[in-house]
Amino acid sequence: MAPPTLAEVIFPEQANHNFSRILGDLKRANLSITNRLRSIAQDAAFTDEVASALKLPLVANERCGSWYIDPERKRGSAYFKSTDGHTGQWKFSTRRLNLHLLELIGERDGCIIVDSTRRGKRMPDALSKTIPTWCAVLNRVLFPSRPHALYVPPNTVSPSEASQISALLPQFVSSFLSLAIDLAPLRQTLKKPLRPFWITQEDDLSLAAEGLAGIAEEYYPVVCCTASRRVVGAEMSEAGYIQGAGDDTENWALGLTAEVFWRHREALFAASESELPGLIREFVASDNDKGRAEGVGMVKRVASPGVFVGTLAAKERSLREGACVVALTPGTTAQSEWVKGPAHMEVGLGKSKAASRLLRDALPQICDFVLRNLKKPEKGENGTSGKKKVVVLCESGKDLSMGVALAVYCWCFDDAGNIRPDDDRPSFNKTAIRVRLGHIVTSLPEANPSRATLQSVNSFLMDWRR
């Protein structure tokens, strides 16, 4: 028999293209919306088992933690970023302090923080390094007379990396103290230090409960729960299971949120893959309409002089109440169209990072508009002059509105909370801005201004050309 020719041994170019296309189709089929939602449900069942075994409240580390917690068992949200724990980029974030967790931890003798991560990783950096760093910094700040080690998972973080993070702790403590936060209430809330503790689907929960009991006498346990099962190798071998299925929702969820998923999960699981896109859009639109009808867009105070933030749904109510309203809308509009009334601005900056970057050029006009309104005397209920409320709104109520609120808080008010007089030309540095930001995130823990938004605020406030 004649040996095969070279053309017979090597796949022709067309065959290679077909093979690549088939692999791509298989991968997309495995990463379908159906598989993602069913994987989330499996991981949520594990999270529920952890809460039952350890008898501690569940906290979602946003953005994806809420997908893995039944809303009836969820007791709060946290904002610990994995980027703050990336190797060589370790950081204690002064814009994501998460101090609101301390009250829950003190009341319930600890908590479980739920997160997930992508295929192949044992746990997210937020759980293995960011939260341990947070615990170590707060322990040193609140219990300075006691020695405090940095605790990290030994099977995930090397001794060398742990040593490098430990060397940075004094610097992180100084950064926290520079915010000038009143520590007395925090010390009243926590009677003992914090200690991170890690749970994955590879762990025996009964043994974990015993281990937790051993440290609970001396520490408040902060249990870092990785919801997803670790997948090593191709996901196509996992019978549809996807590790970290709740992440990267902008690439697959079609607007579906964790809240909408949990509210309609039975109907979503009953639908076929072809029906899901239409069904998801229907549920998302229905929930948005319901939210507007119920006035979900309530505003919350973020700074003592009377600066509030909220979602765009609160605009009409805020205007009726006589507030100075700055609405940051997702469309783009010319500056000449921004002023809608004597106490009403609608600033169209667009969405996402582009909007955050454009914010820099909008802040001078916004702050001048707000300051002029604040200086107009308002009549209180008893006929006396009172201060006007400032309400800043955006789609999420957490990013752009927070940036503008921070700029207004710095630009329009002095350190005592009084409106700046005309002859007071403010000057700022990063430390002063961080102190004001610390006040805001302490008042409103869910505040989550992006780095780009804060860079625009810093650029405006520290511009020497003003």
In tens, the pLDDT along 343-358 reads: 999 999 988 788 988 9
Helical packing angle, 400-412 and 352-374, nearest 10°:
30
Closest-CA residue to 397 (of 302, 304, 309, 292)? 309
Sheet strands side by side (includes 194-199)? 74-78, 58-61, 111-115, 220-226, 194-199
* Whether residue 383 has pLDDT greater than 50: no
Pairing of strands 74-78, 111-115: unpaired
| Placement of tokens 């002064």 in the chain | 94
Closest-CA residue to 102 (of 227, 224, 190)? 190
| pLDDT category of residue 382 using cuts at 50, 70 and 90 | very low
Contact 199, 208 (CB under 8 A): yes
The mean pLDDT of 46-68, rounded to a whole number, is 95
Which residues sit opposite 113 in a β-bridge?
A: 59, 224
Residue bearing the bigger pLDDT, 288 or 219: 219
Q: Distance between CA 194 and CA 150 in Å, rounded? A: 11
pLDDT at 133: 98
Backbone angles phi, psi at 425, to 5 degrees: -100, 100
Please give the domain boundaries of the chain with CATH numbers for all domains: 33-249 (no CATH), 254-294 (no CATH), 300-461 (3.90.190.10)
What's the whole-number average pLDDT of the chain?
86
pLDDT at 2: 66
* Whether residue 35 has pLDDT greater than 70: yes
Contact 303, 440 (CB under 8 A): yes
Cβ density class 413-428: b for 16+ within 10 Å, e for less = beeeeeebeeeeeeeb
The mean pLDDT of 115-123, rounded to a whole number, is 87
pLDDT at 152: 96
Residue 199 exposed, middle or buried by CB count within 10 Å (0-12, 13-18, 19+): buried
pLDDT at 19: 45
pLDDT at 448: 79
Give the count of beta carbons closer than 10 Å to the beta carbon of residue 393: 25
The mean pLDDT of 313-333, rounded to a whole number, is 92
Backbone dihedral region for residue 98 (phi beyond 0: left; psi -120 to 50: alpha; all else: beta) = left
Residue 239 exposed, middle or buried by CB count within 10 Å (0-12, 13-18, 19+): exposed
* Whether residue 6 has pLDDT greater than 70: no
pLDDT at 431: 86
Residue bearing the bigger pLDDT, 253 or 43: 43
The mean pLDDT of 167-171, rounded to a whole number, is 97
| 403-455 tens-digit pLDDT | 999 999 999 998 888 888 877 777 888 888 988 998 888 888 878 788 899 99
* Whether residue 4 has pLDDT greater than 80: no
Any idea which of 26-30, 59-63, 115-119 has the lowest mean pLDDT?
Answer: 26-30
Backbone angles phi, psi at 282, to 5 degrees: -65, -45
Contact 404, 450 (CB under 8 A): no
> Could you tell me the CA-to-CA distances from 195 to 122, 138, 156, 347 in Å, in that order?
20, 11, 17, 45
Closest-CA residue to 49 (of 201, 197, 222)? 201
Residue 203 CB partners (closer than 8 Å, separation 6+): none
The mean pLDDT of 326-338, rounded to a whole number, is 93
Residue 236 DSSP code: G
The tokens of 451 are what? 């780095």
The tokens of 71 are what? 């809303």
pLDDT at 292: 53
| pLDDT category of residue 381 using cuts at 50, 70 and 90 | very low
Residue bearing the bigger pLDDT, 111 or 321: 111
The tokens of 416 are what? 């005592």
| pLDDT category of residue 26 using cuts at 50, 70 and 90 | very low
Backbone angles phi, psi at 166, to 5 degrees: -60, -35
| pLDDT category of residue 151 using cuts at 50, 70 and 90 | very high
pLDDT at 385: 40
Helices (H) and strands (E) in the chain, counts: 16, 13
pLDDT at 8: 57
Residue 69 exposed, middle or buried by CB count within 10 Å (0-12, 13-18, 19+): buried
Helical packing angle, 276-293 and 258-270, nearest 10°:
140
Q: Please give the angle made by the CA atoms of 34, 243 and 282, to the nearest 5 degrees.
A: 30
Q: Distance between CA 226 and CA 405 in Å, rounded? A: 34
Which residues sit opposite 385 in a β-bridge?
A: 379
Which residue spans within 33-156 are E strands per DSSP?
A: 58-61, 74-78, 111-115
The mean pLDDT of 289-318, rounded to a whole number, is 77
* First-residue to last-residue Cα distance in the chain: 87
Q: Distance between CA 451 and CA 440 in Å, rounded? A: 16
